[in-house]
Amino acid sequence: MRKFLRSFCFALEGLWALLKTERNFRIEMAVALLVLFLMFYLDLTFLERLILFFVTMAVLIMEIVNTVLEKLLDLQRKRKDRRVKFLKDAMAGAVLLTAVLALVSGLFIFGHYFFKNWF
Residue 67's alpha-carbon distances to 18, 19, 89, 116, in angstroms, are 9, 12, 12, 38
Write down the pLDDT at residue 82: 86
Q: Which CATH class is domain 23-114?
A: mainly alpha
In 3D space, the residue among 12, 115, 109, 112 whose CA is nearest the CA of residue 56 turns out to be: 109
With 0-12 CB in 10 A as exposed, 13-18 as middle and 19+ as buried, what is 80? exposed
Check if the beta carbon of residue 105 is closer than 8 Å to that of residue 51. Answer: yes
Q: Can you give the pLDDT of all 119 residues of the chain as single tens digits?
A: 888 899 999 999 999 999 999 999 999 999 999 999 999 899 899 999 999 999 999 999 999 999 999 999 988 776 678 888 899 999 999 999 999 999 999 999 999 888 876 55
Each domain of the chain, given as residue ranges in start order, spans: 23-114
pTM: 0.89
